Structure 1
Amino acid sequence: MNAIEISNLKKNFEGFKLDISKFNVKKGYITGFIGPNGAGKTTTIKLIMNMLFKDEGTIKILGEEVDSDNINIKEKIGYVGETSGYLAESKLKHIKRMFCRFYKEWDENIYKKYIKKFLLDENKIYKELSSGEKRQFDLVIALSHHPKLIIMDEPTANLDPLVRNEFLEILQEHMENENVTVFYSTHITSDLDKAADYIALIFKGKIILYDEKDALIEKHSIVRGKRSLLTKETKTCLVSYKENLCGFEGLTNNKEEAYQVFGEEVIYDKVNLEDILMYYTRGGDNE
């Protein structure tokens, strides 16, 4: 069973249209959701969370269609975003006391374990926490009620690398102990290089790539060579490319085909997710 199933989803705004024909998030894995600002990441998440009304289509979570009155589904979702919605003037212990009442599966032992792990002081007021401490506390709350699905919208934005690494380590540790699915939206692709199992790339409201992360990395390659090698025929094996005074650099999604075209006359370099995001969405001279 998939954790999230989206079919023929449409949402129209002035100047922007979200149109996802089919997208399934596999249960038990971390799926990274990447794309440039304005691509539709947050809109998709708000529709999944029932924070926006869709124009068309269906969204199912753990086999049940999303519905504003479906308390059962809401209890199975943990959420961590750039903003939490917590009362900024409240102490952490008071926020916990209020939120734990909404979850039948609330686990005080898990809560205390991660509060201790992050060295959080429950007597502190939420607004006085650092950005890193806020995201840590948000994650603690999200993990403490045994969610089956954790949805994250830019959870590590503006955090330093050490806090981001600790955040990801706790998330992966929790997944090893619980049957959890993570849907992780971010523009910080280095986080997903380390943690993701699957990657979905959204651009201009449409999902243009979806595959296992390792498979995506394996079949793509950066190609570098002389400008004279760029012809009408050779350009067809590149997703996009850039030219400069010294030569060209492009991305291929078929290394074997690129080798047949360019042979040993170019350099082939390994890609990361940032390369894939950049070349598919920003393009180059042929955009």
Structure 2
Amino acid sequence: MDNILSISHLCKKYKDFTLDDISFQIPRGVICGLIGENGAGKTTTISALLNMVTPDSGNIQVLGMDHVESEREIKQKLGIVLDEVNQVPHLYCKDIDTIMKKIYQDWDSELFFQYLEKFQLPKEKKIKELSKGMNVKLNFAIALSHQAEFLILDEATSGLDPVMRDEILKLLQDFIMDEKHSVLLSTHITSDLDKVADYIVFMHEGKIQFMRSKEEIENHYGVLQCRKDFFEALSPDDYCAYIQEDFSIKVLVSHKQELLEHFQDLVIERASIEDIMLFYIKGVITCQD
């Protein structure tokens, strides 16, 4: 399978944080969710692949090219929306077109103004007058108007209302429909990933704790609430993590269908992406992915 991004053994050490041997791949034609608590290493990973920070070791291939040697060529094909990145405040929205057509070889002015209209961004309005949500929409209009193959979004939807977020998620799904484009979506809003992600990469304290396809999560993982005696009767191979509560134990099971075949009256709830995060951060982990 053709990977649009390949990160191998990426390491970056700071005084109080270490990005520790990060490896994962993103195929073409998918939306990959990158999740983790604040300080987990998500933004450092994205900054490294954009060549904004220099790793201590490791290899990054974007669009099949080395992310440093071919940086200029790669960035022509990237659409990037980062949290808290605003355009020049004294410019008007329409001025962005003049600037970007000098930066991107495949800049599409007509498409850009279509997005301004779609996102209800007045082209005669100054950027300093835009709200945070409107700034985010402007950044999306830029990212989607130069024939990008790979969208990299770091907390990009956090400033949007639920209606606009749904609209953006639909755009992302349309973006990958031809199976040649992909999206890396780093977000705290895990419910968005429940709707659109094909793969989930979960980072915690600078390491990857969990990498799975959304299909695998839905088919194999679940949340079981049980008494201590039932939990002790389970095989360690049946679950990945557990959380001890006052009167019961909450368990993240990894083979829910097999358990349901053995215990027909068992109630195993769907495991959301947020559930998985909580188990791996607050629970006792019994397996490593």
Query: Shared fold by TM > 0.5?
Result: yes
Once structures 1 and 2 are overlaid, which stretch shifts more, 268-277 or 45-54? 268-277
CA distance 1:220–1:285, change in 2 (3 Å):
closer
Gaps of 5+ in 1: none
Gaps of 5+ in 2: none
> Quick check: 2:200–2:212 contact (8 Å CA) kept in 1?
yes
Distance 1:174 1:41 in 2: 23
Residue by residue over 1:59-115, the C-alpha shift from the partner in whole angstroms, topping out at 9 and shown as x without a partner, is 111111011773111111110111224212321112332122100100112112211
Distance 2:258 2:284 in 1: 20
> Quick check: 1:226–1:266 contact (8 Å CA) kept in 2?
no
What pairs up with 1:177-256 in 2 under 5 angstroms?
A: 179-231=180-232, 237-256=238-257
Counterpart AA for 2:203: I
Query: In the alignment, what sits opposite 2:85?
Result: 84
> Hey, which bits of structure 1, 4+ residues long, moved more than 6 A?
none
Counterpart AA for 1:80: V
How big is the alpha-carbon RMSD for the aligned residues of Structure 1 and Structure 2? 2.4
Distance 1:86 1:234 in 2: 55
CA distance 1:196–1:156, change in 2 (3 Å):
same
Query: In the alignment, what sits opposite 1:19?
Result: 20
Distance 2:108 2:285 in 1: 54
Distance 1:72 1:29 in 2: 22
Once structures 1 and 2 are overlaid, which stretch shifts more, 170-179 or 33-42? 170-179
Deviation at 1:21, TM superposition (A): 4.7
Q: Percent identity?
A: 34
> Quick check: 2:222–2:268 contact (8 Å CA) kept in 1?
yes
> How many residues end up aligned between the 2 structures?
286
Residue by residue over 1:155-195, the C-alpha shift from the partner in whole angstroms, topping out at 9 and shown as x without a partner, is 11143211211121222233336832111111111111111
Once structures 1 and 2 are overlaid, which stretch shifts more, 184-193 or 221-230? 221-230
Query: In the alignment, what sits opposite 1:270?
Result: 270
Distance 1:264 1:37 in 2: 40
Distance 1:135 1:54 in 2: 28
Distance 2:285 2:170 in 1: 39
What pairs up with 1:24-103 in 2 under 5 angstroms?
A: 24-67=25-68, 70-103=71-104
Please give the TM-score of this superposition, normalised by the length of structure 1: 0.90
Query: In the alignment, what sits opposite 1:114?
Result: 115
Counterpart AA for 1:273: I
Residue by residue over 1:135-173, the C-alpha shift from the partner in whole angstroms, topping out at 9 and shown as x without a partner, is 111000001000111100011114321121112122223
